């Protein structure tokens, strides 16, 4: 790939990213109306999809010389099978992408630039289709809902029985789709260590107006089948010879519960401290189970954090910061964190101030903000690191799976 030409021409397009992406989709759907039905029907989801496409392109252009690009694209191609994307679709997307780049670049679009993008797209598409073709995993896993528990109005715990075995590590997540909300995929953590019967639990917190979370908590019934994408994520136990701290907020408890189950199966040599943060006592829905483990395991210490009655839920984060500050030896610890993006970001900050080592703080990727942020490259990078209301950034899959 002609890296120099690609980077300089992308810098031009980046300044008009929104225009480029809108042009791309209009061109794609105008020339290939049949492709529209692969994409979500809601305008809001399409907007999100626009961001993701540009974020992916930005990722590609900024990682052209990095060794991680090929695994990223292979996984992306493998994952596109669940969107019903086949090799026959890549040419149409390539044509619309080149048309959008040309239209957006104006005078900067020269034959040399066109040649560089054309060749680059071939490499990208070939790498994605090879990742899809070489995968020995199914395009998605059909999983039957075998149990549906509800805690209060807004928390649902679903037990699913995948019809083909789903291999994963405790702490990982999958994307989930239901026929009740077609072409809508969202990410949920698997809330248990692998079981002999292969079932997995999802803990779903309903978001007001949220399409899939509302369907999963309120509507989905036992006997229905959900689709699951390939497991991913970085919140897996490193099992170093060091004390551990697990910190979970809200349904961020789900992957931490899976990690705890792994520790119960293979007890650690060091102490484990668990902090569970919830917006109120009613949301500590697994407290009886956690209390039983704490009573049975000498190595496990648990602290529950909720706001004082009548206080806003943000007070829980302040209380957590105080509780963390009362503990020592953060430099020695491995810390696993899970919860909404802002929670993860704020708590990581507190832990670093307390002396925790950044390379021993584990969580799924959160958008980078504020002073940690490198020099902005332009609008495309704003897309890439745009503060997301959706927990961590799902596009940041661990290429090792």
Ligand X SMILES: Cc1cc2nc3c(=O)[nH]c(=O)nc-3n(C[C@H](O)[C@H](O)[C@H](O)COP(=O)(O)OP(=O)(O)OC[C@H]3O[C@@H](n4cnc5c(N)ncnc54)[C@H](O)[C@@H]3O)c2cc1C
Q: What is the spatial distance between Cα 250 and Cα 205, in angstroms, rounded to a whole number?
A: 8
Choice between 49 and 315, CB closer to ligand HEM: 49
Among the residue ranges 76-84, 268-276, 327-335, 386-394, the one whose residues contact ligand X (CB under 6 A) = 386-394
Q: Which ranges constitute the DSSP H helices of 32-110?
A: 43-62, 69-80, 90-105
Smallest distance from ligand X to CB 19, Å: 23
Two structure tokens written together for 213: 């979370």
Q: Check: CB of residue 3 under 8 Å from CB of residue 64.
A: yes
Q: Which does 85 bind (CB under 5 to 8 A by kind): ligand HEM, ligand X, none?
A: ligand HEM
The answer to the question of residue 189 lying near ligand X (CB under 6 A) is yes
Smallest distance from ligand HEM to CB 24, Å: 11
Smallest distance from ligand X to CB 72, Å: 16
Q: What is the spatial distance between Cα 160 and Cα 222, in angstroms, rounded to a whole number?
A: 9
Q: What is the spatial distance between Cα 274 and Cα 294, in angstroms, rounded to a whole number?
A: 10
Task: For residue 96, give the 3-state DSSP assignment.
Answer: helix
Q: What is the spatial distance between Cα 85 and Cα 79, in angstroms, rounded to a whole number?
A: 9
Q: Which does 207 bind (CB under 5 to 8 A by kind): ligand X, ligand HEM, none?
A: ligand X
Two structure tokens written together for 319: 């209380």
Smallest distance from ligand X to CB 56, Å: 16
Q: Can you say whether the dihedral through the CA atoms of 52, 56, 62, 66 is positive or negative?
A: positive
Two structure tokens written together for 30: 């105008």
Chain positions 113 to 142 lying near ligand HEM, rule: CB under 6 A, are 124, 128
Q: Check: CB of residue 251 under 8 Å from CB of residue 158.
A: no
Give the residue, chosen from 59, 78, 203, 397, that forms a contact with ligand X under the rule CB under 6 A.
203
Give the residue, chosen from 204, 263, 278, 351, that forms a contact with ligand X under the rule CB under 6 A.
204
The answer to the question of residue 362 lying near ligand X (CB under 6 A) is no
Q: Which does 392 bind (CB under 5 to 8 A by kind): ligand X, ligand HEM, none?
A: ligand X
Give the residue, chosen from 11, 29, 39, 264, that forms a contact with ligand HEM under the rule CB under 6 A.
39
Q: What is the spatial distance between Cα 176 and Cα 163, in angstroms, rounded to a whole number?
A: 15
Q: What is the spatial distance between Cα 349 and Cα 346, in angstroms, rounded to a whole number?
A: 5
Choice between 7 and 48, CB closer to ligand X: 48
Q: What is the spatial distance between Cα 314 and Cα 278, in angstroms, rounded to a whole number?
A: 10
Q: Radius of gyration of the chain from Cα atoms?
A: 22
Smallest distance from ligand HEM to CB 38, Å: 4
- Taking residues 71 to 90 in sequence order and writing x for each that binds ligand HEM by CB under 6 A, - otherwise, the string is -----x--xx--x-x---xx
Site of interaction with ligand X (CB under 6 A): 173, 186-189, 203-205, 207, 209-214, 251, 254, 340, 364, 389-392, 394
Site of interaction with ligand HEM (CB under 6 A): 35, 38-40, 45, 49, 52-53, 56, 76, 79-80, 83, 85, 89-90, 93, 124, 128, 175, 185, 394-395
């Amino acid at each position: 790939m002609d890296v120099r030409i690609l980077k300089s021409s992308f810098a031009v397009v980046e300044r008009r990213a929104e225009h480029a992406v809108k042009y791309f989709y209009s061109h794609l759907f105008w020339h290939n109306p049949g492709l529209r039905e692969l994409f979500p029907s809601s305008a809001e989801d399409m907007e999100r999809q626009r961001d993701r496409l540009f974020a992916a392109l930005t990722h590609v252009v900024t990682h052209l010389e990095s060794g991680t690009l090929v695994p990223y694209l292979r996984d992306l191609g493998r994952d596109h099978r669940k969107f019903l994307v086949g090799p026959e679709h890549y040419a149409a997307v390539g044509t619309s992408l080149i048309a959008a780049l040309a239209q957006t670049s104006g005078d900067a679009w020269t034959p040399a630039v066109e040649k560089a993008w054309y060749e680059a797209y071939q490499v990208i598409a070939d790498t994605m289709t090879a990742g899809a073709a070489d995968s020995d995993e199914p395009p998605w896993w059909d999983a039957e809902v075998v149990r549906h528990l509800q805690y209060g109005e807004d928390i649902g715990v679903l037990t699913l029985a995948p019809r083909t075995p789903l291999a994963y590590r405790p702490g990982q997540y999958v994307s989930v789709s239901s026929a009740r909300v077609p072409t809508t995929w969202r990410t949920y953590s698997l809330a248990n260590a692998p079981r002999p019967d292969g079932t997995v639990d999802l803990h779903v917190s309903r978001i007001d107006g949220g399409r899939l979370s509302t369907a999963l908590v309120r509507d989905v019934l036992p006997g229905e089948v959900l689709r699951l994408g390939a497991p991913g994520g970085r919140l897996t136990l490193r099992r170093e010879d060091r004390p551990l701290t697990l910190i979970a907020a809200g349904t961020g408890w789900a992957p931490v519960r899976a990690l705890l189950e792994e520790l119960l199966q293979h007890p650690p040599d060091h102490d484990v401290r668990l902090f569970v943060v919830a917006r109120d006592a009613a949301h500590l829905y697994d407290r009886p189970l956690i209390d039983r483990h704490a009573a049975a395991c000498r190595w496990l210490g648990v602290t529950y954090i909720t706001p004082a009655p009548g206080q806003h839920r943000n007070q829980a984060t302040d209380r957590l910061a105080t509780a963390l500050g009362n503990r020592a030896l953060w430099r020695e610890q491995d810390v696993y964190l899970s919860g909404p993006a802002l929670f993860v970001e704020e708590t990581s900050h507190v832990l670093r101030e307390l002396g925790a080592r950044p390379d021993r703080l584990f969580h799924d990727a959160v958008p980078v903000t504020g002073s940690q942020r490198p020099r902005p490259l332009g609008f495309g990078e704003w897309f890439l690191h745009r503060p997301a209301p959706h927990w961590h950034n799902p596009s940041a899959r661990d290429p090792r799976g």
